[in-house]
Chains A and B, each alone.
Chain A
Amino acid sequence: MGFFQTNLPYLLAGISTGGQYALIAIGYTMVYGILRLINFAHGDVFMCAALMVIYSASYLPLYISLPLAIVATGLLGFAIERVAYKPLRTAPRMSAMISAIGMSYLIQNLALYVTGGLTKYYPPVPFISDSIEIFGAMTKRVTVITPFVTLFLIIVLVSIIKYTKIGIAMRAVSRDFETAQLMGVKINSVISATFVIGSLLAAIGSTLFFSNYTGVTPTVGGMPGLKAFVAAVFGGIGSIPGAVIGAFIIGICENLIKGMGLTTFSDAFTFVLLIVVLMFMPTGLFGEKATDKV
């Protein structure tokens, strides 16, 4: 019981960061499933969502600025795909990845220019930013809410993918790009929809994340982005439940490591996990086995 008592705050924090990573990881895994592209700019989209809330909240009340910023992030995801990835659809795969890295560089520099290099602080969101006490551990309400919000959004997303027309099209495209195209699936709108959904989820994730860690700098998206990507790989890239489970495992482990006083290694742990997973289980927990054709 002693172990549980001392580690409870870290466990709670872990579940909550895990949920936030899960919301980002879905964007990675969906895009990779369809385009076979690691969207390096996704972490920066997450950061941009936070900046948009901060800037719009200084002019508008929060109940308007928050949804506005989330919608704007969806549009940003759409725009990034149209500008940076669509022209390279027939180019070698590495070109698209380089373009993603370039896009990430551009967004970070743009954010640096807009913020002037100063750390901006996320406005406290009523209700979810309040402090509460559970089992004697002080925490913010967002910590408790996050897993439920995450699960709710995932259920919505999975039903969209399972039952709607666009969802069926997405599954078809991720199974076989060319055949889906021949069957009359409008590839471009499917890809755009994927990016919009991924960015919307990242925006909601950023609201939850920055309610907890309020400082926003231009590079703040990088680490959560990479970790969410690792979560996606761990769960089996292309699989949504896999990404979610991977994200929760990473979030919890990372915070328990912090609890042991090894904060320096909480980031490194993620990458050790990545290398171990890639070596022994390259397709992840729920990934499909891929065969290489000559």
Chain B
Amino acid sequence: MEKEKKKDLIISLAVIAAVYAIVAVLEAVLPRTSMLFTVLKKGSIYALVAVSMNLLNGFTGLFSLGQAGFMLLGAYTYAIFTIPVEQRAAVYQYFDGGIIQFSLPVFLGIILAGVVAAFFAYLIGLPVLKLKSDYLAIATLGFAEIIRALFQWDKLGGLTNGSNLLRRFPVFKSTLFPMTVAGICIAIIVMLINSTYGRAFKAIRDDDVAAEAMGINLAHHKRLAFTISSFFAGISGALLAMFQTTVQAAQFKSAMTYEILLIVVIGGIGSVSGSVISSFLFIACSEWWLRFLDNADTYIGSFHVPLLRPGFRKVVFSIVIMAIVLLYQRGIMGDKEFSISGIRKKIAARKAAKAKKKEGTK
């Protein structure tokens, strides 16, 4: 059994390595502007933030809607601390070159983005995590809105550039960069979920009164889950900043949190692999595959297809999402994980069923 587990782990790692290798090869072969890379880049960023949200909503049972706020913190932190010194005068043209006159390397910037988001999460978590279910949701949503207002305040312009864009910070070119960073972060989250902490989180989700009776410190574990989740949301915010090459607070609206929540729901609340799969599907559908629905001059033969015009894609898309939410509540993966051992078990079960059938016909 132990041996089989090891074998499965090696196969899983090999599959993941193969995916990265294929992307590397594709990047060398296909033109850089291909939609595929946009989807992979944005998809992996959303995968990270969706998994981080799932850690809260799916594994700890804390219904938080503050993800956009923490992404904003991450994106701004990264941008503020990595803009090269010689570019600062141009970026902060209305604020005398800004108050920060140094810049950090990219790697440190990303880590710092997570740390700042986690720090704010810790502070806000002290009062807010005492709240239950939908009150928690609305309080975290409110917190994200406060942060968004704060970052657009012109008195803080020396730091945040007011409501102007932040730009000219270092960005990534290769698709492998966001995929690798997101991959490492998701791996850390998975390890956390499988640790004693993860089991405590799940106990809180299933029944917090029982969990407390078993000796789990509720306040401590909730705060821990909230802080860690925000750390990774902050990192994905930094990646998003790099992907877009500019940052502006106005973009991190509650609609963004809703999108991430819908990704988590489509993937299955409580499934990491579900969140990853669904964020790639979500981004691919919204950015790429459904684009044809926006084209007003579509003909099938000589038939002019009605209704198609810009915006129709999003309508179809949201109807599909509603259908999933209403009819297929468990999402793609439910609370199961996609794994090699799972597939192996399924194949074995199918074989056994076939063998039984054969016996039956004899």
A219-264 contacts to B (CB < 8 Å): 219, 222, 226, 229-230, 233, 264
Q: Once bound together, how far apart are the Cα atoms of A116 and B308, in whole Å?
A: 12
Contact check, A226 vs B146: say whether CB atoms are below 8 A apart: no
Residue B128 at the A interface, CB < 8 A?
A: yes
Asked whether A38 and B265 contact (CB < 8 A) given A98-B325, A110-B315, A113-B312, the answer is no
Chain B residues within an 8 Å CB radius of A113: 309, 311-312, 314-315
Contact check, B310 vs A84: say whether CB atoms are below 8 A apart: no
Chain B residues within an 8 Å CB radius of A145: none
Residue B352 at the A interface, CB < 8 A?
A: no
Residue A79 at the B interface, CB < 8 A?
A: no
Chain A residues within an 8 Å CB radius of B141: 226, 271
Contact check, A94 vs B153: say whether CB atoms are below 8 A apart: no
Contact check, B254 vs A222: say whether CB atoms are below 8 A apart: yes
B308-323 to A contact mask, C-beta < 8 Å, 1/0: 0111101101110110
CB distance from B193 to the nearest CB of A (A): 20
Residue A1 at the B interface, CB < 8 A?
A: no
CB distance from A201 to the nearest CB of B (A): 21
Interface size class of A (residues with CB under 8 A): 35 or more
Residue B63 at the A interface, CB < 8 A?
A: yes
Residue B137 at the A interface, CB < 8 A?
A: yes
Chain B residues within an 8 Å CB radius of A278: 128, 131, 135, 139
Task: Tell me which of A102, A108, A272, A294 has the highest count of chain B C-beta atoms within 10 A of its own C-beta.
Answer: A102
Chain A residues within an 8 Å CB radius of B254: 222, 226
Q: Once bound together, how far apart are the Cα atoms of A233 and B209, in whole Å?
A: 25
Residue of B nearest to A268 (CB): B149
Residue A20 at the B interface, CB < 8 A?
A: no
**From B134, B142, B143, B152, contact of A230 by CB (8 A):** B142
Residue of B nearest to A218 (CB): B311
The secondary structure that dominates the B interface is: helix
- Interface residues of B, CB < 8 Å — how many? 44
Residue A76 at the B interface, CB < 8 A?
A: no
A60-114 contacts to B (CB < 8 Å): 83-84, 87-88, 91, 93-95, 97-99, 101-106, 108-110, 112-113
Residue of A nearest to B317 (CB): A109
Residue of A nearest to B136 (CB): A278
Residue B138 at the A interface, CB < 8 A?
A: yes
Residue of B nearest to A113 (CB): B311
Q: Once bound together, how far apart are the Cα atoms of A188 and B253, in whole Å?
A: 34
Chain A residues within an 8 Å CB radius of B326: 83-84, 87-88, 99
A261-294 contacts to B (CB < 8 Å): 264-265, 267-268, 270-272, 274-275, 278-279, 282, 294
Contact check, A219 vs B311: say whether CB atoms are below 8 A apart: no
CB distance from A85 to the nearest CB of B (A): 10
Contact check, A101 vs B131: say whether CB atoms are below 8 A apart: no
**From A93, A99, A117, contact of B325 by CB (8 A):** A99
CB distance from B321 to the nearest CB of A (A): 5
CB distance from A61 to the nearest CB of B (A): 29
Asked whether A94 and B133 contact (CB < 8 A) given A102-B262, A265-B149, the answer is yes
Binding site for A on B (CB under 8 A): 63, 127-128, 130-131, 133-135, 137-139, 141-143, 145-146, 149-150, 152-154, 209, 253-255, 258-259, 261-262, 265, 309-312, 314-315, 317-319, 321-322, 325-326, 329
Further pairs besides A230-B142, A278-B135: 14, Cβ < 8 Å: A83-B326, A84-B322, A99-B325, A105-B321, A106-B318, A106-B322, A109-B311, A110-B318, A112-B311, A229-B138, A230-B138, A275-B142, A282-B131, A282-B135
